[in-house]
Structure formats: C-alpha cells, structure tokens
Amino acid sequence: MNANPFSLAGKRVLVTGASSGIGRAAAIECARAGAELLITGRDEERLLATLQALDGGPHRAVAADLTDPEGIERLVDEARGLDGVVHSAGIACSRPFPFVCRKVLDGVMEINFYAPAELTRRLLRASAVGRGASLVFVSSVAGLGCSAPGESAYAASKGAVSALARGMAIDLAPKGIRVNCVCPGVVETALFDAGTVTSEQLEARRRAYPLRRFGRPEEIAWAIVYLLSDASAWMTGTDLKIDGGLTLI
C-alpha cells in the first residue's frame, strides 16, 4: 500500500472513453495521481490529444470500437497487469418512451452495457486484471431511479450497469477485486452539444439541483481516482452518487 493511500503511483489503469468528457478527465487525473495509463476510445485523433495531455508516463493509447469484437481483442492484447479499469465509454439518449424503438434500445444497451460487460469478461479471462484490482463503472443517478423525461432507454442501460457491478463485486471478491460505480447527475460535457435538449430545458434542470449547477468532468474523475486508490480498499459493490444534491429532493 502506498504511504499516501490516495496515490495511484505504481498502478496500471485502463480507461475507456478517454477521448472526451468524463473519460478524458479520468485519464488526466489518474496520470496526475501517478498511474501508468492505457487509454482507449473510438476517435483516434482526440484519443491522441488526451495522450499528449497526460502527466508522467509511459502511457499508451489504443484506438478501438468496443462494440466490435476485433476492437476488444486488440485492446485485451495490450492490457496486462492491470490494477484498475475505468469504464467511461457511453452515449446519452433523450427520447420519449413511445418513440423508443428496438433499434434505439439495442444501440444504447450495446454501448452502455454490453460493451463494458464483454470487455471486463475478456480481461478477466485473459488474466489481465490482477488480484486486488479495482474496477470502476461510470453509471448515473438515472440508473438509480432519478430519471428525467426522455431518459427511459438511458436510465435502463445505466441501471443494468449498476446491477451488473453489484453482482460482479460478489463474484470477484474472492480474488480481492473490487467493483464500484460512480453515479453522476448531469455533467457538463460535449454531450451538451448534441442538440437533443434545448437551453431552456437545461436551465430548468440546472435549477433542480440544490447546488444550482451541473457537475464538471474533473469532479467525477476525482471520485474515480478515490475508488481506484488504496483509500477505498474496503469499498465494493457501491453506487457512489455525485449529483449536487439532486437525489435529496
């Protein structure tokens, strides 16, 4: 254990979705905390920009689409001796339920649930995750029953992630592998630019938060660093809410 239990010095960490948003912030903060990183994302140009922003080293980047078995295989081949995995890759979906067709559900579940589940399974089968490692899934308060209009498909995918993590925590405990989720409220990321939510709708949602603002990517990343570190060594199967007080009201 490190003298500073919050340090990630000497730890190897894989971060998915590292080309933008929470994943990019998680990679940057993990590097600042001393971790050696393997980062992945679908957009190679933005992924390499994240790689250039990382402190220390040596860090590596592997561009991969985690919905493609070949992409997962390529990433697993590069991942060895991992002390931590951060599953941050995901998509948002804002659509009233009557307009949520099977294609939409499949698309959201494929990226938000099946991809991290299959990647984790493959990493474990390849013995790429060491004893005492920490797995962190980026879920959402939407998956814990605090959803908003148009979020049914997204909430379902994140609820599945949180349920999966709790089951995995039990199955992997004999190996000392911990599994936890961070569950953010709305975070200011590039997803705001998707055009699916109006500025008026965003302002109404912002006023619903007791702290009167949305979260920032680095604030979620700091919680991820904590869950990867020795400071959280007795935490597993937890949904850690980071929501500006939203679920209090």
Residue-wise DSSP of the chain? --SSTT--TT-EEEESSTTSHHHHHHHHHHHHTT-EEEEEES-HHHHHHHHHH--SS--EEEE--TTSHHHHHHHHHH--SEEEEEE---------GGG--HHHHHHHHIIIIIHHHHHHHHHHHTT-EEEEEEEEEE--GGGGT---TT-HHHHHHHHHHHHHHHHHHHHHGGGT-EEEEEEES-B-SGGGGGSSS-HHHHHHHHHTSTTSS-B-HHHHHHHHHHHHSGGGTT--S-EEEESTTGGG-
Active site residue 114: no
Sheet holding 36-41, edge to edge: 60-63, 36-41, 12-15, 82-87, 129-138, 178-184, 239-242
Question: Using an 8 Å Cβ cutoff, are 38 and 62 in contact?
Answer: yes
Catalytic residue, candidates 114, 154, 209, 226? 154
Which residues are catalytically annotated?
Answer: 154
